[in-house]
């Protein structure tokens, strides 16, 4: 509840740069600006309230009472990839009509016949990509490997590095990023153009 009130207070507070910058320190401001990837700074400045909302989701979802640390960010990335893997495996398991853990061409054709036109191409492409030994049958291991490939393509190492750059907001250098630190950074950085 305390965090919700803080979010509301920060979201409604005016973006005056002078007092915050004074408290923040111009040297700290330059260090923070220099350590943030351009994309992060751009998103923060484009929509400070949305940035705060996303940061709050990350901090409150994967952090603790002190905020979020790098391990919490890595956990959020792992959860994103797990959701993607589950989504991808589910696609193929829907075609496993006899429940033997394998998807044959016949099972795939039966599912495609009952699927919407938009889904047909995606199913065929997934089956083809997952069938690593090109025997026309996708096994559970092949499903798992293909799902992992998709998850790593959807949440890349560059995305991971971008999320980990969030730790630049650790203004007091205690190893955690708090909503208070995000609010201070938004107040100072959000007002600059």
User: What pLDDT, in 10s, does the model give residues 128-147?
Assistant: 999 999 999 999 999 999 99
| Distance (Å, whole) CA 86 – CA 89 | 5
For the chain, state the CA radius of gyration: 23
22 has a pLDDT exceeding 70 = no
CATH 1.10.238.10 in the chain, residues?
A: 79-154
What's the average model confidence in pLDDT over 50-59? 94
What is the fold of 79-154?
Recoverin; domain 1 (1.10.238)
Higher pLDDT, residue 142 or 31: 142
| pLDDT confidence band for 12 (50 / 70 / 90) | very low
Q: Which residues of 77-112 are buried (b: 16+ CB within 10 A; e: fewer)?
A: beebbeebbeebbebbeebbeeeeebbbeebbeebb
Mean of pLDDT values over 154-180 = 93
CA distance 38 to 151: 25
Q: Is the dihedral of CA 65, 2, 47, 28 positive or negative?
A: negative
What CA–CA distance (Å, rounded) separates 63 from 175?
A: 12
Helix axes 48-62, 70-93, angle to 10 degrees: 90
């Amino acid at each position: 509840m305390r965090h919700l009130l803080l979010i509301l207070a920060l979201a409604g507070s005016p973006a005056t740069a002078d007092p915050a910058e004074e408290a923040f320190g111009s040297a700290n401001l330059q260090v923070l600006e220099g350590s943030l990837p351009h994309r992060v700074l751009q998103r923060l400045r484009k929509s400070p309230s949305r940035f705060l909302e996303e940061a709050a989701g990350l901090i409150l979802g994967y952090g603790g009472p002190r905020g979020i640390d790098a391990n919490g960010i890595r956990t959020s990335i792992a959860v994103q990839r797990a959701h993607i893997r589950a989504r991808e495996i589910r696609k193929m398991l829907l075609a496993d009509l006899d429940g033997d853990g394998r998807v044959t061409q016949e099972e795939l054709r039966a599912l495609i016949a009952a699927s919407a036109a938009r889904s047909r191409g995606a199913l065929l492409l997934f089956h083809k990509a997952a069938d690593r030994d090109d025997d026309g049958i996708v096994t559970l291991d092949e499903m798992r490997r293909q799902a992992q490939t998709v998850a790593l393509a959807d949440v890349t190492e560059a995305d991971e590095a971008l999320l980990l750059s969030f730790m630049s907001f650790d203004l007091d250098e205690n190893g955690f990023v708090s909503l208070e630190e995000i609010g201070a950074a938004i107040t100072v950085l959000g007002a600059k153009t």
